[in-house]
Amino acid sequence: MSDREKLLNDVKRSVAAYCEAFHDFGFKPNDPIVRLHEPTFGAEEINAAVEVLLSTRVTMGPKVKSFEREFADKFGFRHGVMNNSGSSANLLAIAALSNIKTRGHLRPGDEVIVPALSWSTTIAPLIQYGLVPVIVDIDPVTLNIDPNEIERAIGPKTRGVMLVHVYGNVCDMAAITDICRRHELVLIEDCCEALDAWYDGRPVGKFGSIGTFSFYFSHHMTTLEGGICVTDDLELAEMMRILRAHGWLREVEKPEPYLAENGDVDPRFLFVNLGYNLRATELQGVFGSVQLPKLRSYVDARRANTAGFQQSLSRWSDLIDFQQETPGARSSCFGFPITLKDSAPFTTADLSRHLNAAKIETRPIICGNVALQPVMKLYEHRVVGDLKHSTRVMRRGMSFANHQAVDGAARDYVCGEISKFMITRGLG
Ligand SMILES: Cc1ncc(COP(=O)(O)O)c(C=O)c1O
């Protein structure tokens, strides 16, 4: 073994020993804490990243490329374009679909239908590209965009639908793909909460032109920060590769046509379009490769928690609504969202206060009804209907942890605290 290998092994052993000694994120009945998120990574990922750092080859390169291939192959996408966040993935998707070189591209003033219950950066790229978000309501049972509301919102300027698979629950893809086909609408799937969610045997991200995923720390698997765009369309993939990095040609699969036209420019510095720098690093790439094989076990844990919570909390089902899995779908259960019925004589603030005092973290569901967020006052958009279900989720909805480190004991603790809360209010 070389000196280099020996030193590297020493470093790795130390990292493993450190993690073994200090990284215990499991639930402890004697010191109960249920955080919204716990890390999905440990010594294996940290050591892979340390090795990349020690190599000094850190900017986007072969590790990112390998991860893109592994991710795309795992789910059966033709192309994966990794970038530095789910928000960047949404930006890149809309940038590619709006680019003047893209066939039938979206144009300023075109309308794109989005669910009211979504995330800020689901909608921001539309506005940034001069598109007009048309905000429609959700189905209160699945919490996903209501296909009937999509149909109702379609007007002469409608060109696309950008949906969100809320908390990993897949939208009604049969109905939505049918609507998009009939009205010739571009479909973009924001799958940032729905890694490894499936519908009718197909993974999310596979139903439209582009799907986007997030690998943020709190998601099903992580690359620290990170995201990926997936598509089966080579032209869109190439466009995203160009826009991701400076507008240059370096990462495209088939540069030949550009090279033939621009023989007098150094191909390493051939700028063929506008661009950003949304690249992921090699650390993120290698993190992804180590995390990906573990993804299914994390999702299974979240699914088991969902089933467990639903079963235990069903005794309160006259007061609390649970998100229901879409028929034909396999949700990847991102968090455990609940909505208080009108009959519940308490607020989410009351329940959160009780749970937070018991060291159980809670949060609102995504950004609630996005049309009610102050940002939307600044920019042109269209609202269809009263958005009452999304507003209700904003006012009466909340969620708590449902991640891979939550186990039966943690669930019993959370459900026990909810029972205590109900009993103190004479509801037990
Ligand atoms: C639906 C949705 N889209 C986009 C994002 C943005 O992802 P990121 O935090 O990686 O930028 C999130 C964040 O969780 C999200 O929930």
| pLDDT digit string (tens) for the chain, length 428 residues | 999 999 999 999 999 999 999 999 999 999 999 999 999 999 999 999 999 999 999 999 999 999 999 999 999 999 999 999 999 999 999 999 999 999 999 999 999 999 999 999 999 999 999 999 999 999 999 999 999 999 999 999 999 999 999 999 999 999 999 999 999 999 999 999 999 999 999 999 999 999 999 999 999 999 999 999 999 999 999 999 999 999 999 999 999 999 999 999 999 999 999 999 999 999 999 999 999 999 999 999 999 999 999 999 999 999 999 999 999 999 999 999 999 999 999 999 999 999 999 999 999 999 999 999 999 999 999 999 999 999 999 999 999 999 999 999 999 999 999 999 999 999 97
What are the Cα distances from residue 332, in Å, to 304, 325, 364? 10, 10, 19
The rounded distance, in Å, linking the Cα atoms of 203 and 351 is: 35
- Ligand 1 centre to CA of 195 (Å) is 12
Alpha helices of 323-405 — where are they, by DSSP H?
348-357, 375-378, 388-396
Our answer on whether the CB atom of 87 is closer than 6 Å to any ligand 1 atom is: yes
What are the Cα distances from residue 195, in Å, to 136, 190, 206, 351, 383? 24, 10, 12, 29, 29
- Ligand 1 centre to CA of 419 (Å) is 32
Domains with residue ranges and CATH for the chain: 55-293 (3.40.640.10), 295-424 (3.90.1150.10)
Q: Report whether 400 contacts 74 (CB < 8 A).
A: no
Phi, psi of 164 (to 5 degrees): -125, 130
Task: Annotate 188-200 with b (16+ C-beta within 10 A) or e (fewer).
Answer: bbbbbbbbbbbbe
Q: Report whether 114 contacts 122 (CB < 8 A).
A: yes
Q: Which of 413, 312, 427, 296 is nearest to 33 (CA)?
A: 413
Q: Report whether 14 contacts 41 (CB < 8 A).
A: no
From 90, 91, 192, 334, mutation site for ligand 1 pocket: most ligand atoms within 8 A of C-beta: 192
From 193, 284, 287, mutation site for ligand 1 pocket: most ligand atoms within 8 A of C-beta: 193
Which atom of ligand 1 is nearest to 215's Cα? 10
The pTM of this model reads 0.98
Alpha helices of 76-197 — where are they, by DSSP H?
86-98, 120-128, 147-153, 173-183
Q: Report whether 219 contacts 119 (CB < 8 A).
A: no
Our answer on whether the CB atom of 231 is closer than 6 Å to any ligand 1 atom is: no
Q: Report whether 195 contacts 220 (CB < 8 A).
A: yes
219 is annotated as an active-site residue: yes
